Copies of this chain bind each other. A is one copy, B any other.
């Protein structure tokens, strides 16, 4: 059932029957280190390039998520995947290895949420029984693509975030005794005119605010209905901005709210505002949140992956940064 313009309440509630994460060495030292399945010793993952390493992380996360269910790639209806690289290099090359009908997405750091939503609506057609939603990012691959050669050892600005090296796979199935997706709100593109590509939190916070506001007004819920509300990767500064924006809208998020990027790294890892990337909300969800749901420490979670939809060329053309956020309710 559709409520309002953006929110979908699912009759068939997709079950999250498996989740698996593969993360880089820095994420292995992060606040959430104990929740990840595989921590790499080095981020090249025995490959020749960072991009192929990222692709391998997607493949390994997906195969292992399926293996936990005793399934093989051939048992899956669809591989829905995305990443931050030009032409989603990591996803398409992982799909080449996996041999599952493939749908590639690009929603920057919101891609994980976009994938969960597309999969959930499609599952309500009763035409698919299961699918894998996999996204990833890789610090070294993203850094050299979007910013500077790693060898330059360039200084970072205080508002910068650190691209998470991580891939995670969520397996959704029609049936199963597992946390389930109950609702979702699809975001619109929002642009408040931020032009600093080193301040993504500021660009994305308004998009998060609008999607969260739409979610609550359209679903009839309010923030206190959730045990945990997590935005994707606004970072510490962006998180503060969102708290401010929601208070101004008369809908304070309360103390159940946190941000995946802000949660990721301790201060001594020098990641400034925290984590970002299409892997960020993914590994926090598939690692930490999924564990908390399975252990019944939380029962209702709203996960809101956020994405800055700039191109690496658009700031050079004087364009401000469009952003988007999608909200997904997961419950036990």
Contacts and interface: CB of A to CB of B under 8 A. Distances in A.
For chain A, the bracket of interface size reads 35 or more
Interface string A98-135: 11111111111000001001100111111110000000
Contact of A102 (B88, B104, B187): B187
A324 B2 contact: no
A311 to B, nearest CB: 4
A195 to B, nearest CB: 14
A128 B2 contact: yes
A330 interface: no
A126 B127 CA distance: 12
Interface stretch (A77-85, A230-238, A242-250, A289-297): A77-85
Nearest to A85: B311
Contacts of A198: none
Contacts of A99: 188-189
Contacts of A48: 317
Contacts of A128: 2, 121
A104 B105 contact: yes
A68 interface: no
A102 B324 CA distance: 8
Given A122-B122, A124-B125, A311 B106 contact: no
A114 to B, nearest CB: 6
A178 to B, nearest CB: 20
Interface of A: 1-2, 5-6, 8, 48-49, 51-52, 74, 77-78, 82, 84-89, 92-93, 95-96, 98-108, 114, 117-118, 121-128, 186-189, 191, 309-314, 317, 319, 322, 324
Please list the 7 inter-chain residue pairs (A to B) with the smallest Cβ-Cβ separation, ordered nearest first.
Answer: A124-B125, A89-B311, A92-B309, A101-B186, A87-B311, A96-B322, A96-B189
